[in-house]
């Protein structure tokens, strides 16, 4: 499916980690989509930089993610 396939591959693990969501687990459920997106934020931060992940695991740094809500135009810190 072109670009969508690549995008889905990037969030596949976040979808798998979001199975504890209570409710309809489909892309038609905005609450589930938001839940997956928020789970993906922290996973991406931790996996894209081995150095930051190591520092995080050692307790040397703390990382917080941000989620931009396109509907409200606000950034929600996780």
Cα gap 6→35, rounded to integer Å: 20
Cβ atoms 18, 32 nearer than 8 A: yes
Specify the pLDDT at position 71.
86
- Please list the ranges in the chain whose pLDDT falls under 70: 1
What percent of the chain is helix, strand and coil (3-state, nearest 5)?
55, 10, 35
Specify the pLDDT at position 36.
92
Return the residue matching tokens 């695991």: 57
pTM over 0.85: no
Specify the pLDDT at position 1.
59
Residues 6+ apart with CB under 8 A from 75: 66, 67, 68, 69
């Amino acid at each position: 499916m072109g670009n969508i396939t690549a995008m889905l591959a990037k969030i596949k693990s976040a979808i798998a980690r979001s199975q504890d969501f209570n409710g309809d687990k489909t892309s038609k459920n905005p609450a589930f989509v938001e839940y997956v997106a928020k789970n993906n934020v922290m996973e991406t931060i931790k996996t894209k930089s081995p150095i930051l992940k190591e520092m995080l695991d050692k307790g040397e740094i703390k990382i917080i993610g941000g989620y931009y809500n396109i509907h409200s135009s606000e950034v929600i810190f996780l």
